[in-house]
Structure 1
């Protein structure tokens, strides 16, 4: 069995063929899609976070709204760039969203990826300390966030407060019990996957990672996951780790499916450069008839290693069509692979 969710980048544009022409369209349709996904039996609704772009950015109002409208589906991010965040304020926002959802938040965070503007986190008022890189700043903020999520008091109370204080040091409120154990780290390298395991975070591995061995993407990703699991076991955490991978998978069921995805979609890995000088490998897409998809996906080592699969969706095509795409995977592909 495998948990299956969707991952939306939340694009919008004033394009005549788009169902999401405004930010309002994207936000409201994201809520509708999460509700529909729950109805068809999907396990998770996840959203990317990008700043300075016509895409979803501030996740917590959206996650809280989805949490209030659904009852079972996991809701999360993949990922929040910690370079842009105030860790303490984020504890409060995340705690509120988790409590509204009844403890269903699965929060993916990371040190971040290349963004739309140069050093965009500086516009948010943040900059690395002397001798610190922006990547290290992101990881350090993540550690602050994890520490404060534990709900241990750390702030000296005012001796003359507006309202009576409980005894001892004060913690951030609202506190969401258990949320600390539902934080995921988006890792693009083997080293950061190991680091995430040591810190007790679940692992999110997307369709991009640093090319560390020149092997096919799914094999490199599977090796990363195994290293993560070994590090988790070595760290001695008392709970089981979770691992998600994301994939673009489209079952060709209708004429529209063939028209939109049947031609021109990349079916091979790609090599590129990110952050100017780092060689990265981008995973292939899977497109085909259900039987073909079952055969090809059965050979994807990373999917086999993961307990959670996030299906990237073309949100601009609207709620109904994306429900069709997701339903096709659930009904015609997942059972053949033993996922359902």
Structure 2
């Protein structure tokens, strides 16, 4: 594994779960839309939303991003990630294409595979008749990509009475298939995504595998996966990899906010010391400090050195004002400290 000077940071964005009050869900969704709008005003390149089924976070990121397309005009909008075990690839392709058209080509879908979380608890609601036959493998991504590329989804096209039918998914969104990312956490998934020519989303959770790095070195294991992705990609130098860590700059935080942020990170730190659970999941430490301090730590991070795009994850349980402060410091302090420059604000003169 090699390390060295990081690539110049080309793109900077954020990721949010979009928490809401189950007794009154609209304000939480509105506040998350406000954070997306703020990111655009500050010149950030992307805003991603997580996917949470049967929880009090955004359960339908595609529907949410449809609203975001009407309140933004420049910032890229993405999902990190849609678990395809919950989805019909043809229907999802229709939804994704519709949102991409509404956005003017700004949608960046991130997807993953595997059985739905807590599948035994939801299988009778999700797949009451076909649970045993469902294929949760990479083939589900391949089906989605075929539909997004406009390959035939039906054996019939033409006119029937006064109605006209297409053989492909409509609307067709040119270029959308080339903006699909795969969210993976193992060398195998990284290499598969690279071989498919997809983008690769690497988060603050990866799987430890024997012979791949040390069990106490998250950055080294993540770097090995990124290297495997690029090695398998048909155009390694142009292959897109995004690193997502929980990063909390405190430049403009109040003393009370900064103290709360440090306590949050300290509470989560024990899980980062060794792989967790039977799957051997490794967690990256949350980074809390000034932009200068965080930038120094990132420049020394083996995973960060291999990417030129980052999507920084906002902590799950913070308040709206906390998110405004963190996003503001990411754009105004941390990004410039890493050599990043904000995009031209929408509507500004060139």
Q: Are the aligned partners of 1:153 and 1:171 in contact in 2 as well (CA < 8 Å)? A: yes
Which of 55, 68, 77 matches 2:70?
68
Q: Secondary structure at the match of 1:137?
A: coil
Does residue 87 in structure 1 map to residue 86 in structure 2?
Answer: no
Residues of 2 paired with 1:227 and 1:88: CA distance? 30
Q: Secondary structure at the match of 1:34?
A: helix
Q: Are the aligned partners of 1:193 and 1:228 in contact in 2 as well (CA < 8 Å)? A: yes
TM-score of the aligned structures, taking structure 1 as reference length? 0.86
Which of 185, 188, 212 matches 1:188?
185
RMSD of aligned alpha carbons: 2.5
Corresponding residue for 2:13? 5
Corresponding residue for 1:155? 154
Residues of 2 paired with 1:122 and 1:184: CA distance? 29
Q: 1:273 to 1:182 in 2, by over 3 A?
A: same
TM-superposed deviation, 1:75: 0.3
Q: Which runs of 4+ in 1 moved over 4 A?
A: 126-130
Corresponding residue for 2:345? none
Q: Deviations over 1:115-167 (max 9, x none)?
A: 3563535522275555xxx7x5242221111111111334122676143547x
Residues of 2 paired with 1:205 and 1:122: CA distance? 32
TM-superposed deviation, 1:46: 0.5
Q: Are the aligned partners of 1:33 and 1:323 in contact in 2 as well (CA < 8 Å)? A: yes
Q: Are the aligned partners of 2:20 and 2:26 in contact in 1 as well (CA < 8 Å)? A: no
TM-superposed deviation, 1:113: 7.7
**Which consecutive unaligned segments of at least 5 residues does structure 2 have?**
1-8, 342-350
Q: Secondary structure at the match of 1:296?
A: helix
TM-superposed deviation, 1:84: 0.6
Q: Are the aligned partners of 2:195 and 2:233 in contact in 1 as well (CA < 8 Å)? A: yes
Q: Are the aligned partners of 2:12 and 2:335 in contact in 1 as well (CA < 8 Å)? A: no
Residues of 1 paired with 2:175 and 2:132: CA distance? 31
TM-score of the aligned structures, taking structure 2 as reference length? 0.84
Q: Secondary structure at the match of 1:247?
A: coil
Q: 1:118 to 1:26 in 2, by over 3 A?
A: farther
Q: Are the aligned partners of 2:13 and 2:45 in contact in 1 as well (CA < 8 Å)? A: yes
**Which consecutive unaligned segments of at least 5 residues does structure 1 have?**
15-20
Corresponding residue for 2:346? none
